Structure 1
Amino acid sequence: MKDFIVKRLKDQLFVARAHYPSIAKLKNQEAFTRELKQNIQDIERMLSDTIADADLPPFFAKKLEKMERTIERAKSCEVSCTNVERKLRQLLDITEDEAYFHTRQSAFLYHLGVQTMPKTHHCLNMRLTVEYFKSTSIRTVQSNKQKLEDPTFHHYVIFSKNVLAVSTTINSTVMNSKDSGSIVFHLFTDSQNFYAMKHWFYRNTYLEATVHVTNIEDHQKLSKDVDSHDMKLLWPAEEFRVTFRNHSQSFQKQMKTDYISTFGHSHFLLPDLLPSLNRVVVLDDDLIVQRDLSSLWNLNMEGKVMGAIQFCEVRLGQLKAYTEEHNFDTNSCVWLSGLNVVELEKWRELHITSRYDQLLQKVQNDSVTAFPLKVLPVSLLVFQDLMYPLEDSWVQSGLAHDYGISQTDIRKSAALHYNGVMKPWLDLGIHDYKGYWKKYMTNGERFMIDCNIH
């Protein structure tokens, strides 16, 4: 048993405390009462600085043996079993209350940890933003507009607020590309992170690839098909936690939790953000690339609007509570964002953005369902019958929540998607998978060193 000695000391303390009130009431046992009290205090003091067996002081064995003898003597005293039982129950109730409190506190702190930007990342953003306004040369740099609008290049699109994450995604894509000079990245961010992003990609180059940073909030008229003011803000990919029954496992392991990642509002502005382009590949900023993706531009999508990985463990019929007013094939698989091939010309032809906005307006009046949950079915339903399934080997998902992914599955995948809450840039990230992400982190960047980002 792990940390067996610490657990044994805690058990001793529990028993000693249960006997102490009864012993203290006995006549002619004042010396033994003082001895029992002293032993309890010694163990409490020792455990206050101890979490694991390795933390125990060298003299713990003597204290352990001394307490053992004291407990044996306490048990031999003639005391009322009822009193000891009552004290044990009282201690048990207190312990259960403390355990419940710490469980809730742990859950809250965990949620806070995965949802809050780390202090080091906030530092990086602030330093980059300040440096942007101190620098005069960056504002004179003009992007190659012709290259940005040339459909013969390989255009990637990323919506992100995280400098370090998006930098790693871009670096992994470029490093594994056969022709980095043909790659153009369209990075869309918000006004709060725009200057940090701008300065980062001015300071750092990615072989011969082009990176163009755009503040999405600068587009006053984002789409003629959309009326919502909220669409003018940055809405990256959304993630939804789902729990379902996996009948292929044993009964004890049948309940499984996964994360469905879908397009956010901003993705539905793509045809207007990139009016001169036909085909783009959309990447989430929690994805890294392990192989060349250029073959995606030769993919025959058979007239479909979007290519995506299917997630057939969840079907649209299982989301009926959020989609009951719409007609759809209940047996259709859910699709995932992360790596998506998008035919913008077909998108414009079928008015996908307008269809999305109409579906969204229908669920706006439903006050029962939380707004983020409304986005999930709408994002999935708008591409009904317009989805081209990509082969599973393109993306391995689940690296930010699933501890059971094999190294073989990871190595054979073209891209790794860290969907889930334990992102690789967080301390809470899954240790076994962090190396694949850190491999493509920018090294030697002065601001990363200053902000203590390792």
Structure 2
Amino acid sequence: MKPTPSQRRRGPRAALLALVLCSLLVPLAFIFDRAPSGYVTTDERRRQEVFVPSFVHVEPSKGGGGGGAVDPVPVHGVIQEKKISNGSTGVLRQHEQTGRNSSGVSAKPKVPPVPRTEPPKAVNESTQRTSEVSNARKRRGAKADEVENAKACQLEFGSYCLWSTEHKVIMKDSVVKRLKDQLFVARSYYPSIAKLQGQEVLTQEMKQNIQDHERVLSASAVDADLPSFINKKIEQMDHTIARAKSCTVECHNVVRKLRQILDMTDDEAHFHMKQSAFLYNLGAQTLPKTHHCFSMRLTLEYFKSPSLDSDVSLARKFKTPNHRHYVILSKNVLAASVVINSTVISSKEPGNNVFHILTDAQNFYGMKYWFARNSYKKAAIHVVNYEEMILEKLPKFSPRELYLSEEFRVFIRSTERPTEKTRMEYLSLFSHSHFFIPEIFKDLKKVVVLDDDVVIQGDLSFLWNLDMGDKVNGAVEFCGVRLGQVRSLLGKTNYDPKSCAWMSGVNVINLDKWRKHKVTENYLMLLKQQVKNNDEVSLRESAFSLSLLSFQHLIYPLDKKLTLSGLGYDYGIDPEVARSSASLHYNGNMKPWLELGIPDYKKYWRRFLTREDRFMDECNVNP
């Protein structure tokens, strides 16, 4: 009997179905033949040529199966991550497969599993050390990034960045921040939604929500000022943004808008940084209101009191070269008082010290009254009106205003290694007023010039026994800056490019050698060449080049241990070094009498501050 056509077609179909079934069963059999999860067969380990450590068996918790994490284990120098899932089965990433069938039931192993053993103590210690090293590297990397960011910020904004980091305010107004984030996202989607046809209702709703957010944020800067219905507005905006995201829009338009908002935000943040740095510098360079009150009260009391002229014996001391004469340029009564008090207390022969304070006409009478009513261990104190001396004795072409020591931030780029980052250094140098000291004190042969932001902690009598040879200015050299590195600021004058810069603070001046080398005359000649405008900015900037060029080859290097600089900007000074230094120089913006001063360094200055004065209490002076 011949097969029907339908029977003839059924035969190939059965063969084809059997072939498909076999192709499915073979892979399944292969999968079922694998070892269960958490175990590695001996053959497979040899084949991979990678040592995989045995797992640590973790008993499930009694409460029913919370998972736990295990420390990473080093495998041939590579840290492999190991986790425990459901408290019983181990999973090793990249080296094992799950070994479960589609029904979720584990297949039986053909080969007995490798016995589980606890890792030896050495492995645990090695694991712990490796983990600690890895974490330490991450911390060092993060700290290095913070240091680089701080350096970059300091290069642009100065020591304001250091102060702002210390006084950083934590953002607490989370709701205001969320409103701003919603506003940014809505603004980015709005232009694209407005172009879509059929979305007029959504466009109007989004526009209304944007206006509502802008109105709320214009009146509220903190969470406490937000209206009571703000949560409803946030929910409405979330709903509107979700609808906008569900629409088909061109992504590049949204990305472009978000980038524009980001750029605007960066520009705004940079503007506020510049504004804050300006206000910080203004606060650092301006006499605080309390100090101004204090100076004015002293001036008023001077004119209300009887004559305070010094006696004849003290007047003779002012012109006698045998005494140890100190010169201080200052407009700050308390700062000058601390310098004198610290010098006298640290001196072995305080009665042999004579202090000449050069000040301006505004602070002259207040200074005179303060030092007349306060004694400093029989040291003689001579308050001089600098502006009056200038009008009487010095040429017309000279700065009439009293200038204190000038401080400069110097940025240095290496020409030999252009890839190195810019280096910043702080320099404190003589101002224009310092160059007229030999003309003001014509009877003296040697003086020690002290800045008013200096604290003396050791006896300076050895400075009077220095043999400086033919040198004029005994100063601490600062070879971090050489003249050749700042040639663009020095003009066309001849100089030695390898000469080091020097620092003011504590300077020994040989007035006889000064007059012999005609330093003041050379200074005036350079001043005529460099200062073309009469504005104060160009005049103060010229002090940098004039101080370095006028004393070229005339600097006698003092021991670097004599003065520790940087207490007005550097947070990283070792307290032990600060305590053991002969003198401390608060060069920088963070002066110790300001609120901006670095708290850890203020204590060295406060030790020598005169306390319990009624004028300080009345003016609320408490530096």
TM class by smaller structure: 0.7 to 0.9
Q: Which residue in the other structure is 1:410 paired with?
A: 578
Match of 1:361 in 2: 528
Q: Percent identity?
A: 46
Residues 189 and 214, structure 1, Cα contact 8 Å, conserved in 2: yes
* Distance in structure 2 (CA, Å) of the matches to 1:63 and 1:448: 54
Q: Deviation digits for residues 269-326 of structure 1, max 9, x if unmatched?
A: 2223222222211001111112121111122223322200111111112232343432
Matched, 1:387 2:563: no
Q: Is the 8 A contact 2:360 2:386 kept in 1?
A: yes
Given that residues 132 and 195 in structure 1 are in contact (C-alpha distance below 8 angstroms), is that contact kept between their aligned partners in structure 2? yes
Q: How far, CA to CA, are the matches of 1:265 and 1:32 in structure 2?
A: 67
SS in 2 for 1:409: helix
**Shift of the alpha carbon at 1:398?**
1.9
Distance apart, 1:362 and its partner CA: 3.4
Report deviation, 1:201: 1.1
Task: Output the CA distance in 1 between the equivalents of 2:238 and 2:400.
Answer: 73
Counterparts of 1:51-200 in structure 2 under 5 Å? 70=239, 73-74=242-243, 77-78=246-247, 80=249, 84-85=254-255, 88-89=258-259, 91-139=261-309, 144-200=314-370
Aligned residues: 445
- Say yes or no: does 1:401 pair with 2:574: no
Pick one of 234, 252, 258 that aligns with 2:425.
258
Residue 412 of structure 2 aligns with an amino acid whose one-letter code is F
Cα separation, partners in 2 of 1:37 and 1:372, compared to 1, 3 Å: closer
Distance change in 2, residues 1:399/1:32 (3 Å): same
The answer as to whether partners of 2:173 and 2:222 remain within 8 angstroms in 1 is: no
- Aligned position for 1:446: 614
* Match status 1:431 vs 2:599: yes
Asked whether the equivalents of residues 222 and 269 of structure 1 are also in contact (C-alpha less than 8 Å), the reply is no
The answer to whether the 8 A contact 2:206-2:240 is kept is no
539, 542, 551: which one pairs with 1:374?
542
Given candidates 346, 365, 387, the residue that maps to 1:217 is: 387
Indicate the larger mover: 337-346 or 89-98: 89-98
The answer on 1:49 being equivalent to 2:216 is no
Q: Is the 8 A contact 1:17 1:40 kept in 2?
A: no
Q: Distance in 1 between matches of 2:336 and 2:566?
A: 18
Superposition pairs of residues 334-353 of structure 1, within 5 angstroms: 334-353=501-520
Residue 5 to residue 19, structure 1, CA distance change in 2 (3 Å): farther
**AA of the residue aligned to 2:563:** V
Residue equivalent to 2:492 = 325
The amino acid across from 1:372 in the alignment is R
Q: CA deviation at 1:340?
A: 0.3
Alignment equivalent of 1:230, drawn from 364, 375, 398: 398
User: Structure 2 vs 1, CA of residues 433 and 17 (structure 1 numbering), >3 Å: closer, same or farther?
Assistant: farther
- Write out per-residue CA displacement over residues 11-64 of structure 1, whole angstroms, 9 at most, x where no aligned residue: 4553356557888995777999799779958995997226xxxx999x9xx999
User: How has the CA–CA distance of structure 1 residues 37 and 374 changed in structure 2, closer, same or farther, with 3 Å as cutoff?
Assistant: closer
Q: Would the aligned equivalents of 1:43 and 1:63 in 2 still touch at CA under 8 Å?
A: no
* C-alpha distance in structure 1 between counterparts of 2:177 and 2:199, whole Å: 27
> Are residue 14 (structure 1) and residue 176 (structure 2) matched?
no
Please give the alpha-carbon distance, in whole angstroms, between the structure 1 residues aligned to 2:343 and 2:509.
17
- Whether the 8 Å contact between 1:180 and 1:209 is mirrored in structure 2 is yes
| Secondary structure in 1 matching 2:358 | strand
Q: Tell me, in whole angstroms, the C-alpha distance in 2 between the residues paired with 1:30 and 1:423.
A: 57
What is the alpha-carbon distance in structure 1 between the residues aligned to residue 361 and residue 173 of structure 2? 55
Whichever residue aligns with residue 337 of structure 1, its letter is S
Structure 2 CA distance, aligned partners of 1:232 and 1:68? 65
Q: Which residue does the alignment assign to 1:280? A: 447
SS in 2 for 1:138: coil
**Structure 2 SS opposite 1:396:** strand
Do 1:301 and 1:307's aligned partners in 2 also have CA atoms closer than 8 Å?
Answer: yes
Q: Would you say the 8 A contact 2:205–2:240 is kept in 1?
A: no
Q: Deviations for 1:106-130, whole angstroms, at most 9, x for unmatched residues? A: 2332332223222222212211111
Give the TM-score of the pair, scaled to structure 2.
0.62
2:463 equivalent to 1:296: yes
Structure 1 window deviating more from structure 2 (351-360 vs 273-282): it is 351-360
Partners of 1:258 and 1:398 within 8 A in 2? no
- 2:543 maps to amino acid: V
Give the conservation status (yes or no) of the 8 Å contact 2:284–2:594: yes
Residue type matched to 1:215 in 2? N
- In structure 2, what residue type is equivalent to 1:268? F
Letter in 2 for 1:255: T
> Against the structure 1 CA distance between its residues 365 and 231, is the aligned structure 2 distance closer, same or farther, given a 3 Å change threshold?
closer
Q: Show the counterpart of 2:478.
A: 311
Report 1 or 2 for greater relative contact order, CA contacts < 8 Å, sequence distance ≥ 6. 1
Deviates more, 1:307-316 or 1:212-221: 212-221
| Equivalent residues of 1:424, 1:430 under 8 A apart | yes
1:379-402 CA-to-partner distances (Å, cap 9, x unmatched) read: 222222221100110111122223
The structure with the larger Rg is 2
Gaps of 5+ in 2: 1-168
Question: Quick one: which amino acid aligns to residue 129 of structure 1?
Answer: T
In structure 2, which of residues 433, 436, 457 is the aligned counterpart of residue 269 of structure 1? 436
Partners of 1:15 and 1:386 in 2: CA distance? 65
Over 3 Å counting, the alpha-carbon distance change for 1:222 and 1:30 in structure 2 is closer
| Distance change (3 Å), C-alpha of 1:87 and 1:186 | same
Which whole-Å CA distance do the structure 2 matches of 1:38 and 1:363 have between them? 57
Between 257-266 and 364-373, the greater mean CA deviation after superposition: 364-373
Give the SS at the match of 1:48: coil
Q: How has the CA–CA distance of structure 1 residues 364 and 5 changed in structure 2, closer, same or farther, with 3 Å as cutoff? A: closer
Q: Structure 2 vs 1, CA of residues 303 and 27 (structure 1 numbering), >3 Å: closer, same or farther? A: closer
Q: 1:15 to 1:46 in 2, by over 3 A?
A: farther
Deviates more, 1:197-206 or 1:183-192: 197-206
Q: Secondary structure at the match of 2:326?
A: strand
Identify if the C-alpha distance between structure 1 residues 89 and 381 changes in structure 2 by more than 3 Å, giving closer, same or farther.
closer
